[in-house]
Structure 1
Amino acid sequence: MSDQPSGFAVVPASHRDLSAAQRNRAHWATMALFFIAGMMYASWGVHVPTVRDRFQLNPGLLSVALLAVAVGSIGAMFSSGAWIARMGTRRACLGGGLTMALCAALILVVPAYWMLLVVLALFGAGMATLDVAMNAEASAVENLLGRPVMSALHGMFSVGGMSGAALGGVLLSHGMAPVLHLALAAALSALVLLLACPAVLPHVAPVPHPAERGAPASRWRSSALWALGGIALIALIAEGAMYDWATVYMRDVVGASAAAASAAYAAFSGGMAAARFAGDAVRARFGAPQLVLVSASLACAGMIGALLLPYPVAALTGFTLMGLGLANMMPVLFAAAARVEGIHAAVGLAHVAGLAYFGLLLGPVVIGAVTQMTSLPLGLSVVALCAALVACAGPKVLRRLRI
C-alpha cells in the first residue's frame, strides 16, 4: 500500500545518520511547532472584538483588517516556498514563528489603523511561512520515521487552538489586560520556538527523483500540484463554510437555543480533533486514497443528515460527522504535495496550501451567495456537494500519484 514505509520518499543523506533519539526529538519538536501555531492563531482570534473596540471600527473596516491577515497569508504561501527550500525548514520555522509572535504582541499596541493593517498582514505572512515550513518538516519526519504522523501533527494544531482560546478566555475573564495577554502568548510562543527549533531537521531536501538532478520543475506547470490544490480548495470550501454557517443554521433553521447553537462549532471542531489523532493509523493500514474516500463520504453523509433532519441532536450529530470526515483532508493532501516528483517539498506545499486557504476564504462567501438567492439549507447543500466531489476525485488523483 502506498503509505506503508516502502512508499515513503528516500531519506536524504544528511538525515540518515541521525540517531533514534535525534529522530524522536525532531518529531516532538514538530509537534511543539504545530501546537504553538494553533495557540497563537487562536490567541489572536480571541481579540477580534478587542481590535474592533480599540480602533472603533465599523463592520466594513473590521472586515478589511481581517482581510489583511488573509492577504498576508496567501501572499506568503505563494512566494515563500522557494525561500524555505533555500533556507531550510529550521530557519524558516524560526523566522516565520518569531514574526508571527512579534506581530501578535504589537496588534493592540500600534496607534493607528493603517499600522494595524501592516502588522496584521505581516502576522498573516509569518503564520503562512511557519505553516508551510512546519508541514514540510512534518513530511520529512514521516520519511525519517517511516510511518504516517501528519494527521496527529495537525491534531496538535487543533489542540493548540482550543487551548489558546480556552486559556485566553479564562485570563481575560479574570481581568488580565488584552495587551498583556497577547504579549504573554507571544512570549510563550517565542520561547517554545527557540527551544524546539534546534531539534528541527536542519533542512528538507526535495524528493530525490532523477528529474531533480537537472533544472527544477516549475510548480506552475505541475498538473499534479494543480490537481491536489484543486481538491484542497474544494475541501476547504466545505470546512470554511462550517466555521461560519453551522451556528447560524442551528439558530435560524433548527431553532435551537443560544447554547445549543454554539455547540455546533464545538461539535465540528471536536470531531476534527478526534479524527486527526486517529488518521495516521488508518492511513498506514489502508492507504491515503481509501482514507480520503471514506472521510469525504462520511462528511457528505453527515451534512445531508443535518439538512434532512433539522433537529438539535440530529444536526449536532451531522456536524460531528462533518468534522470527522474533513479532519484528514489537509494532512493527506499536504503529505502528497510534499512528494510530487521534481518539486521541492516546501514549494509543493506552498502551492497547495495557497489554493486551500483561498478555498477556506471562499467557502463562507459562496454559501452566503447561494443562501441569499435561495435558502440556508440549499446554501449548505454546497458543502455536501463539495464533500461528494472530493470523494469522487480525491482517491483517483492520489492513486495516479501513487501516494
Structure 2
Amino acid sequence: MSDRSPDLAALPAAHRNLSGTARQRARIATMAVFFIAGMMYASWGVHVPTVRDRFHLNPAMLSLALFAVAGGSIGAMVANGSWIARVGTRRACLTGGLVMAACAALILVVPVYWMLLVVLACFGGGMATLDVAMNAEASAVEKALGRPIMSSLHGMFSLGGMFGAAAGGALLSRGMAPAAHLALAAAICTLVLLAACPAVLPYVSHDDQPDAATPRANRWRSPALWALGTMALVALIAEGAMYDWATVYMRDVVLATPALASAAYAAFSGGMAAARFAGDAVRARFGAPQLVMASAALACAGMVGALLLPNPVAALIGFTLMGLGLANMMPVLFAAAASVKGIHAAEGLAHVAGLAYFGLLLGPVIIGAVAQATNLPVGLSVVAICAAAIAIAGPKVLRHLKI
C-alpha cells in the first residue's frame, strides 16, 4: 500500500462512492472502537485481584477464571468468523462490544463462582468478536483510504489500555467501589460504541467482494492462513512471556527494587505504543516484509541484550527494544490475514487471531517450564528465539503472499 488514492476497482461496490469525509469519519470511528476495546480490557485486568478476594479464590480457581476469559475468546473466534462475514463489521462491532460491556458490569455483581465463570466466558467471547470485527473494519478502512493505518489503530488499543489502567487505579484509590468502576467503564464503552458505529463502513456481503468471481476457499484448508497464524502464535508466545515474566526477571535476576522492577512492564508497553504509531509510515515506505524483518531483529537484539547484561539500565533498554520490535507484528499479520485471496477478511482474521491467542496462553507456560528445568534467563531466551524465527521466516511468507 502507498499514500496514494485508493484503487476503486479493488474496493467493494458499497465503498466506491464514499466521499473522502465518509472515509475519514470511518477512520475516526474505528480509532474510537480500538481505544474503547483497550480501555475495557485494562479495566477488567485491574480487577483480577478484586475478583480473587471477593470470591475467595485459591490459585487454581483464579487460574480457571482467567482461563474462562481465554476459552470464551478462542471459542468466539472459531465460531464467529463466518457470522461476522455475513452481517458485516458494523453490526458485529456493536454486538461484540455491547456483550463485552454488559458482562464487564456483571463481573463483580454475580453472587457465586459458577456464574462468574459464565460471565467471564461471555466477556471473552464479546471481546474476541469485537477484536475480529474491528480488525476487519480496519482492513476495509485501509483499502478505502489507500494507505496503511492498521498499526496506528493498534496503537489506539495500547493507549486505551494505558488509560483504562491509569484511570481505574486513580478512581479506586479515591474510594470508588470496584463494582461501580466496572459499571462506569461499561457505560462509557456503550456510549462510545453507539456514537461511533454509525460511521463504520457499510456492510459488505460475500457476494460484494471485489474478488467475488474467485471461488470461496475454506479457511481451515488455507496454507496462507496457517502460515500467518503460526507466525502470530510465535509472536504472541514472545509477547505473552514479556507481560508475565519481565517484572519477575527484574526482581529475581537483576535484583531491582520493586518500583524499578515494575518499570519493566511500562518500558515494554511504552515501546509497543510508540512503535505502533510509527509503523504505518514504515510499512508504506518499505513494505510489510521489511518491517517484519527489522522489527523482529530489533526484538531479538533487545532480549539478548537484557539477558547478557543483567543490570537495571540494560534490562530496561532491552525491554523497550522488545516493545518496539514486537509492536507491529500483529498489525502486519492481521492486515495480511484480511487480504488473503478467496477468504473473507473476517474469516481470515478469526483464523489467525485464534492461533495467536493460543500463543498468548502458551508463552508464559513455556517460559515457566523451561525456567523450572534450568533458570529464568534460559527460559526467557525462548523469547529471543521466537523473534529470530520470525525475522528469518516472516519476510519469506509475506513475499510469497505478495503482501
TM-score between both structures, scaled by the size of structure 1: 0.97
Letter in structure 2 aligned against 1:121: A
Matches within 5 A, 1:285-300: 285-300=285-300
Rate the CA distance shift 1:54–1:199 in 2: closer, same or farther, 3 A.
same
Deviation >2 Å, runs of 4+: 2-9, 204-210, 212-215
Partner SS, residue 105 of structure 1: helix
How far apart are the structure 2 equivalents of 1:159 and 1:394?
A: 27
Match of 1:358 in 2: 358
Alignment partners' CA distance in 1, 2:239 and 2:5: 32
- Give the SS at the match of 1:255: coil
Which amino acid is the alignment partner of residue 347 of structure 1?
Answer: E
Q: 1:2-401, aligned counterparts within 5 Å?
A: 10-204=10-204, 208=209, 210=211, 212-213=212-213, 215-401=215-401
1:204 deviates by: 4.1
Tell me how far apart the structure 2 counterparts of residues 316 and 266 of structure 1 sit (CA, whole Å).
Answer: 9
Helix, strand or coil: the match of 1:339?
A: coil
Post-superposition Cα deviations, 1:284-328, rounded to whole Å, max 9, x if no partner, equal 000000000000000000000000000000000000000000000
Distance 1:332 1:5, change over 3 A: farther
Deviations 1:310-363, CA, capped at 9 Å, x for gaps: 000000000000000000000000000000010000000000000001101100
Distance in 2, matches of 1:307 and 1:230, equals: 26
For structure 2, list consecutive stretches of 5 or more residues without a partner in the other structure.
none
Q: Secondary structure, in 3 states, of the residue corresponding to 1:254?
A: coil
**Inter-partner Cα distance in structure 1 for 2:360 and 2:75:** 15
Q: Deviations over 1:216-265 (max 9, x none)?
A: 21001100000000000000000000000000000000010101100000
Q: CA deviation at 1:213?
A: 2.9
Separation in structure 1 between the aligned mates of residue 282 and residue 246 of structure 2, nearest angstrom: 28
Amino acid at match of 2:397: V
Q: CA deviation at 1:203?
A: 1.8
Do 1:140 and 1:204's aligned partners in 2 also have CA atoms closer than 8 Å?
Answer: no
- Change over 3 Å in CA distance of 1:204–1:395 after alignment to 2: farther
- Structure 1: where are the runs of 5+ without partners? none
Q: Deviations over 1:255-280 (max 9, x none)?
A: 10101100000000000000000000
Aligned-partner SS, 1:213: coil
Q: CA deviation at 1:214?
A: 5.9
User: What's the C-alpha RMSD, in Å, of the aligned pairs?
Assistant: 1.4
Q: Deviations over 1:12-59 (max 9, x none)?
A: 110111111111110000000000000000000000111111111111
Identity of aligned residues (%): 78
State the number of aligned residues.
Answer: 401
Contact 1:229–1:353, Cα closer than 8 Å, also in 2: yes
Cα pair 2:87 2:205 within 8 Å, conserved:
no
SS at match of 1:176: coil
The alignment partner of 2:10 has SS state of: coil
Question: Could you give the per-residue CA deviations for residues 80-110 of structure 1, whole angstroms, max 9, x where no partner exists?
Answer: 1100000100000000000000000000000
Q: Residue 249 of structure 1 aligns to which amino acid in structure 2?
A: Y
